[in-house]
Amino acid sequence: MSTPVRVRFAPSPTGPLHIGGVRTALFNYLFAKGKNGKFILRIEDTDQNRYVEGAEDYIIESLNWCGITIDEGPREGGDKGPYRQSERKEIYRKYAEMLVEKGHAYYAFDTAEELDTRRQEAESLGNTFIYNWYNRDHLNNSLGMDQETLKGKLENSDNYVIRFKAPKDETLVLKDRIRGEITIDTNILDDKVLFKSDGMPTYHLANIVDDHLMEISHVIRGEEWLPSLALHVLLYRSFGWQAPEFAHLPLILKPAGKGKLSKRDGDKLGFPVFPLEWKDPKDGTVSAGYREEGYFPEAVVNFLALLGWNPGDEREIFGMEELCDVFTLEKVNKSGARFDPDKIKWFNHHYLQQASVSELVDRFQKVLKSNRIEVSDDFAEKVIVLIRERADFVGDFLELGGFFFETPQTYDEKAARKQWKEDTNRYINEIGDLLAGLPEFSSEISESVVKQWITDNELGFGKVMPPLRLALVGEMKGPHIFDIMGVIGQEETVARLRRAVEVLG
Ligand code: GLU
């Protein structure tokens, strides 16, 4: 039997989750769900200095909004918990010491000043200081130190760290599910700090220990972690543990195609880089989020899925379930994926057309209320049906269909000059009389009556329809004229025709 698939999304709660982080979570989720696996959320909060109030809630709310369900996590629990590293503090020391015992790690007592001096010495010779095989025997650490001295130093609780002893003269062949084999010369590695004397592990140690204890089968994460892969593989080897499989996702690039899309790009480039709006707890600044900008989570998910992955054919529209079925790591690209804000809008347009009318009515009523417009759900629905095709967002409805809610106060001047001729007053007045006298009124009835009148009077449609539109809408836009009449009703239609004659005549 093959090992069960267990993946984890392991963000650090240092601020709002970047949209790239959502993509990482999504790819993990799709991979796991396609294999009946589990998706685990682990909060990597060992760096207390960078902890940001509210970030964990934000991460969880973002995943929920996208429909990424967490099987095990800080709120859900699970038998491999706790799922917050700050609550696992006690676990890590033992593993760091285990590596020291096995000869794969050592205590280092170098002070910050000592390390600074070394750095400056190296720089003055045009070199970079790397703490590793090349100089570790001459630095202030436990290598070659007798047990007595070491014990004394540790007891006096000098500021010490535990460093990994990276092997010398080895060629490592690392395997990545997306990038294939990567060869690394271990001599270029530095002896990374694994554990600090304040009792906290560093990211590297905590991450490996937790992935092992949580039985993570596949580590799927951003390309920025690729440089850590050699160390991580060596850590597994040193512990004598089976390493998970690794897959490093391509970078997300700015729309222009150059440079990584960063957290700071957001409001600067004119589109959100966060899933939800984020209010900075320190200075109160607000960064835009896709949810608040009116995006459907389905659109965001569909867009993110195609950011670095493709199904191998031209298909673009995918719901979450379908994505779980078709997603494979083999179809993830190596090269960076350009973030295209127009494309995500395009997806939103698509999902807006798919959304149920009742959902749209609910959302639209909120917009209307905030604009102090009160109409029945039935009326809102009729408007939506006529204009949704032209909208990317529910927020566009009012812009596209404001005239449904208010008699035009002004008329487009250029259009009026062009469309309102000598005898237009007469036509519009006569049509007004005709419509006012109808015992029943609907878009179909008004259409057949007006068209008949045009034919009977031997007039061209081009003489009558444009002024009618101008009278009803105030400009030359909007859906089918008779559909507008049907929605605003007989009385309002007639009133608008009368008013236009008054103002434009
Ligand atoms: N805590 C790391 C981060 O914030 C996790 C990296 C990993 O997935 O190994 O991205």
Mutate to test the pocket of ligand 1, among 6, 8, 12 (most ligand atoms within 8 A of CB): 12
Structure tokens at 455: 């034919």
- Range(s) of the domain holding residue 326: 265-354
Q: Which atom of ligand 1 is nearest to the CA of 12?
A: 4
The pLDDT assigned to 3 comes to 85
The three state secondary structure string of 209-259 is HHHHHCCCCEEEEEHHHHHHHHHHHHHHHHHCCCCCEEEEECCEECCCCCC
Question: How far, in Å, is the centroid of ligand 1 from the Cα of 105?
Answer: 23
Residues 490 and 423 in one domain: yes
Q: Give a yes or no: residue 362 inside a domain.
A: no
The pLDDT assigned to 400 comes to 96
The pLDDT assigned to 270 comes to 87
The pLDDT assigned to 42 comes to 98
Question: How far, in Å, is the centroid of ligand 1 from the Cα of 12?
Answer: 7
Span of 5-9, 261-265, 350-354 with lowest mean pLDDT: 261-265
Residues 48 and 139 in one domain: no
| Section 122-141 average pLDDT | 95
Are the beta carbons of 494 and 435 closer than 8 angstroms? Answer: yes
Q: What percentage of the chain exceeds 70 in pLDDT?
A: 99
Q: Give a yes or no: residue 488 inside a domain.
A: yes
pLDDT at 40 over 90: yes
Residues 157 and 11 in one domain: no
Structure tokens at 155: 């007891």
pLDDT at 167 over 70: yes
Residues 189 and 144 in one domain: yes
pLDDT band of residue 158 (cuts 50, 70, 90) is low
pLDDT at 41 over 90: yes
> In sequence order, what DSSP letters do the residues of 97-159 get, joined into one string?
HHHHHTTSEEEE---HHHHHHHHHHHHHTT-----STTTGGGSSBSTT--HHHHHHHHHTT-S
Q: Give a yes or no: residue 84 inside a domain.
A: no
**Residue owning tokens 């490592």:** 172
Q: Look at 49 and 18; give whichever has higher pLDDT.
A: 18
Q: Give a yes or no: residue 370 inside a domain.
A: no
Mutate to test the pocket of ligand 1, among 18, 44, 192, 231 (most ligand atoms within 8 A of CB): 44
The pLDDT assigned to 149 comes to 93
Q: Give a yes or no: residue 369 inside a domain.
A: no
Q: Which residues contact 146 (CB under 8 A, 6 or more apart)?
A: none
Q: Give a yes or no: residue 390 inside a domain.
A: no
Phi-psi region of 467 (alpha: psi -120 to 50; beta: other; left: phi over 0): alpha
Q: How big is the chain by its Cα radius of gyration, in Å?
A: 33
Residues 66 and 102 in one domain: no
Are the beta carbons of 276 and 294 closer than 8 angstroms? Answer: no
| Section 119-140 average pLDDT | 95
Residues 192 and 93 in one domain: yes
pLDDT at 190 over 80: yes
Residues 190 and 221 in one domain: no
Cα 353 to Cα 303: distance, rounded to the nearest angstrom: 16
DSSP annotation of 331 reads G
Residues 188 and 107 in one domain: yes
pLDDT digits (tens, 9 = 90+) for 407-428: 999 999 999 999 999 899 999 9
Residues 429 and 498 in one domain: yes
Identify whether 279 is a catalytic site residue. no
* Ligand 1-lining residues (CB < 6 angstroms): 10-12, 44, 207, 221, 225
| Section 370-397 average pLDDT | 97
Mutate to test the pocket of ligand 1, among 9, 210, 225, 248 (most ligand atoms within 8 A of CB): 225
Residues 95 and 187 in one domain: yes
Q: In the chain, how many domains are there?
A: 4
- The residue contributing the CA closest to ligand 1 atom 5 is 10
CATH code at position 94: 3.90.800.10
Q: Which atom of ligand 1 is nearest to the CA of 21?
A: 10
CATH code at position 475: 1.10.10.350
Question: How far, in Å, is the centroid of ligand 1 from the Cα of 253?
Answer: 19
CATH code at position 333: 1.10.1160.10
- The residue contributing the CA closest to ligand 1 atom 3 is 11
Residues 93 and 191 in one domain: yes
Question: How far, in Å, is the centroid of ligand 1 from the Cα of 345?
Answer: 29
Residues 301 and 345 in one domain: yes
| Section 269-284 average pLDDT | 94
**Residue owning tokens 């989720």:** 29
Closest CA to 297 of 8, 19, 9: 19
- The residue contributing the CA closest to ligand 1 atom 10 is 11
Are the beta carbons of 349 and 194 closer than 8 angstroms? Answer: no
- The residue contributing the CA closest to ligand 1 atom 6 is 10
The pLDDT assigned to 327 comes to 98
pLDDT at 205 over 70: yes
Q: Which residues contact 419 (CB under 8 A, 6 or more apart)?
A: 466, 467, 470, 476
Question: How far, in Å, is the centroid of ligand 1 from the Cα of 21?
Answer: 9
Phi-psi region of 295 (alpha: psi -120 to 50; beta: other; left: phi over 0): beta
| Section 93-98 average pLDDT | 96
Question: How far, in Å, is the centroid of ligand 1 from the Cα of 302?
Answer: 23
Structure tokens at 323: 């994505």
Q: Is the peptide bond before 4 cis (omega within 30 degrees of 0)?
A: no
Instruction: Taking each helix axis as running N to C, give the angle between helix 377-387 and helix 357-370, from 0 to 180 degrees, rounded to the nearest 10.
Output: 110
In the listed set 173, 196, 219, which residue is the last one of a domain according to the structure? 196
Q: Give a yes or no: residue 249 inside a domain.
A: yes
Side chain identity, residue 435: L
Catalytic residue, candidates 263, 345, 451, 463 = 263
| 365-to-354, 377, 487 alpha-carbon distances in Å | 18, 8, 17
CATH code at position 67: 3.40.50.620
Q: Give a yes or no: residue 402 inside a domain.
A: no
pLDDT band of residue 1 (cuts 50, 70, 90) is low
Span of 156-165, 207-216, 490-499 with lowest mean pLDDT: 156-165
